[in-house]
Amino acid sequence: MFGSKKNKSNSSQDETLKDNSKKIVIGVSVLVATIIIVLILEIYTVTVKGSQNKKIRIGKGAEERSKTIMLEMAKIGKETKDLEFKYYKALETIMSPMEFQNFKNSISGIANKNKVKINSINEGKVQDVRGYKMNTINLDLLSGYNDYVNFKKNIAETPFRINFDKETIIRENPTSSKIKITAVISALVFEKKDKLLKDNKKFIEQMKRAEERKIAKEKRLKELKEQKKN
């Protein structure tokens, strides 16, 4: 119960956090270029062939292909919006530098609430993670076991992504009911979070409203199905 243990760190890299903007721009640019090339080639072919029937057939073919490409562009546009919204939603679970400091400062209050004594608390090393920072907080605590469990539960209630790592638990001494804990809390931090969310606030709010409408619609359909069963 009081033996040493170590929590495995969850993967800090989330596919939703990758900025797909370059891929999106390239994809749309390729489609636009494709439309232009298709139309140029068809016009050239009509000029060379010189046949009225072939002109009509080729013209219709070019029109159908252009429609298909435009439909694909619309589909990619929707998928692009969905991916972008998914990214911003994931970003909301990552701390800004200020949010990290606020989180660190909140630990003392949570410890007091659960009768956990903090012997020391300080920031540890910072690692670069693909444009983000992995900030760490080193903890040295003294507590009862149940109090420490409740302390961890309260810490985990934060809406941000955190992880307890390198956690060790030992008895204070052979006759004591207290335990000594050393642990590292790691958290993803993104310096430009606040600016990015502010610059895209209108888009995010629009997508959230659309998502809420979709959820409400699905809920109504589910209720109607349940009513028909009854």
The 10s digit of each residue's pLDDT in 124-159 is 989 888 888 999 999 999 999 999 999 999 998 888
- Counting residues of the chain whose pLDDT is more than 90, the rounded percentage is 27
Domain range for 38 is 15-93
- Counting residues of the chain whose pLDDT is more than 70, the rounded percentage is 65
Residues 112 and 184 in one domain: yes
Q: Which of 52, 77, 93 is the last residue of a domain?
A: 93
Residues 89 and 129 in one domain: no
Residues 103 and 179 in one domain: yes
Domain total for the chain?
A: 2
Q: What whole-number distance in Å separates Cα of residue 63 and Cα of residue 144?
A: 75
pLDDT tens-digit profile of 41-81?
555 555 545 555 554 555 555 556 656 656 665 566 667 77
Residues 143 and 107 in one domain: yes
Assigned domain for 194 exists? no
pLDDT tens-digit profile of 164-182?
888 899 988 888 889 999 9
Assigned domain for 113 exists? yes
Write down the pLDDT at residue 45.
53
Q: Which residue has the higher pLDDT, 173 or 26?
A: 173
